[in-house]
Chains A and B, each alone.
Chain A
Amino acid sequence: MTLIRLEKISRRYQMGTELVHALREVSVEIQRGEYVAIMGPSGSGKSTLMNLVGCLDSPTSGRYELNGTDVSQMDDNQLAEVRNREIGFVFQTFNLLPRSNALHNVELPLIYGGMGGVERRRTALEALAQVGLADRVHHRPNELSGGQRQRVAVARALVNNPSILLADEPTGNLDSKTGTEIMALFEDLSRKGNTIIVVTHEEEIARHARRILRIRDGLIASDELIGAAAAS
């Protein structure tokens, strides 16, 4: 089943006097349950693509259907709702709220989704247990290691049962050991049926995925499926 359908998506920015074509009529489809890596050098347009897929930004032209709904013409508030329901973000710099503990960070999407207190707490605790942090729920981000912070971020991304887990350089700020741990966690989540999109410039990280999209100069340069054996 098609989860993401991009049709001739373009995104242009005005940078001073110059018009930048970050994406040029990109068309791509991603099915539910896929594990996709988006690769490309900096300035290739991969971040723009991620922002569009994550509904953080709207295309200049083209059509974006997410889960059968056209989201390319939505306004700010509607997009916020879509992000809350459909997308879980994992960022390179974790982007946890520094003054809130792990539990509250994970509860946040549920608060914005309007879930009541008791159920919210239970759901958030479950999500934290799922990433192996059941004993760290009252720690603040600065009391956690990098790997633990990223796990909190993954728990926050998953707590709403989103359609897509969207990770932007998820291992960029981690040492290789914890990076491997996080990728193993993704592997596990993918096996459980989650749709995962990872944006990275590291070939090794991309190799964990089943499909690699390479972006160059705002266009899709290649789109390859890789074997399950190659992922290990």
Chain B
Amino acid sequence: MNFFTELREGLSISFAAIRANKMRAALTTLGIVIGIVTVTLMGTAIEGLNRSFMQSVSTLGADVLYVSRQNWITRSHAEWLLMMKRRPISIDQYRALEKQSPFALAVAPTTEDGMSVKFKNRRSDSVDVIGTTEAYLLTSGVGLMEGRFLTAAEAEGGRPVCVIGSQVATNLFIREPALGSRITVGPRTFEVVGVLETQGSMLGMNSLDNRVIIPLRQFTTWIWNNPDLDIAVKVKNVVELEDAREELRHVMRRIRHVAPGEPDDFSINQQDQFVEMFHRVAGTIGAIGLFITGLSLFVGGIGIMNIMFVSVAERTREIGIRKAIGAKRRTILLQFLIEAASICLLGGLIGLAVAWPVTLVIQKFLPATMSFTIVGIALLVSLVTGVLSGFFPAWRAARMNPVDALRAE
């Protein structure tokens, strides 16, 4: 018998059966709808979280190594205490490093402090004030919305100038042009020479736009005299990142006079570490989340199986008639599988229709979109759920003895 005829017949039978038991089909479908909604939303949220993280992390740059006193990620309190005992990285060490780094495209020292900045009677609080050099433009990869960045001469001292983040700009300047105005940072005023492009936030926590960049020399003169520096090293060739990292380590050991055999008293961080940690955590959260939401889908599947058993029992006589007329096992099996799959697929479609507006709400917090992948997976999952939970009842129907089936009331 022709497979497509069989398929069409199966479809028309299952639609007739669903129509005949609308209430029952609706209630059964509800289980699948809830399952698909939760799974879809969980998938969307995880994808949104991933994307949000990757956006944040990409501002760090894949080809930049960060030398600091501490590891970005500490695994224990003891480790953290140990790192707090390390000597700070001084400006002299930075200068030495800059001279001995042929593998680096740019070396930017940074130090920062949170404080308020003022312009006339307006102020912006908890602003990240960063002292650095002109190399920061290269290591951070940040662009300028207007004006220019610090020059080498300015970084070395000279004029008190600053570059501000877009959030600071909107907070302080309403009608006045930002460029050329003088804002108060700590004990003195700085002339704004540039405004940075909007960058968003790091994992939704601290905004990267709420910052003021001033020359390192100005920072050490007016804010901290002996800051603990972080040094960002942008390598020339990202392919040789690992070699550069090793070389950087040797140079730093020499500069900081670490005796052979002693462990490093500094850390070299890179974007990868963040990504790796994040994937570990996000992977666990995702797996647990999908497992829990998957349970609701599983319960929905059991509902389908249950109702399919009822359906098969109710239609025993019909099965008998069909078999007497010449339906093979496969035909009966297919008929009930199609019915179960149709119910589930319907549930999947309704579930997606419900999940979609909810995704729009989630979008206010995370860059989440219901991707085609998720839609495809959701439909596939509901189809598979239908086939799996329909299989056992359908198998029972297919194996019925026609004589007994015909005798059923």
Contact = CB atoms under 8 A, between A and B. Distances in A.
B406 A95 contact: yes
A84 B325 contact: yes
A20 interface: no
A94 B17 CA distance: 21
A217 interface: no
Interface residues of B, number: 26
B323 A80 contact: yes
B402 A95 contact: no
B318 interface: yes
Contact of A56 (B6, B322, B406): B406
B328 interface: yes
A109 B325 contact: yes
Nearest to B16: A99
Interface centre among A51, A54, A89, A97 (most CB of B within 10 A): A97
B82 interface: no
B187 interface: no
Contacts of B17: 99
A142 B6 CA distance: 26
A203 interface: no
B324 interface: yes
Nearest to A78: B328
Among A57, A77, A89, A111, max chain B CB count under 10 A is at A111
Contacts of A113: 1, 326
Contact of B403 (A57, A81, A96, A117): A57
Contacts of A114: 1-2, 5
B20 interface: yes
Interface residues of A, number: 28
B334 to A, nearest CB: 12
A83 B324 contact: yes
Contact of A76 (B1, B9, B324, B329): B329
Nearest to B318: A97
B1 A112 contact: yes
Contact of A81 (B9, B318, B326, B401): B326
A76 B321 CA distance: 15
Given A80-B328, A112-B325, A56 B16 contact: no
A108 interface: yes
Interface in A108-133: 108-109, 111-114, 116-117
A112 B329 contact: no
A99 B20 contact: yes
A156 interface: yes
A202 B402 CA distance: 26
Contact of A85 (B323, B326, B330): B326
A97 B324 contact: no
13 contacts: A54-B324, A56-B402, A80-B323, A80-B326, A80-B329, A83-B324, A95-B317, A95-B320, A109-B326, A112-B322, A112-B325, A116-B2, A117-B5
Given A109-B325, A112-B1, 5 more contacts: A96-B321, A97-B318, A97-B322, A100-B16, A111-B5
Interface of A: 51, 54, 56-57, 76-77, 80-81, 83-85, 89, 91, 95-97, 99-100, 108-109, 111-114, 116-117, 156, 160
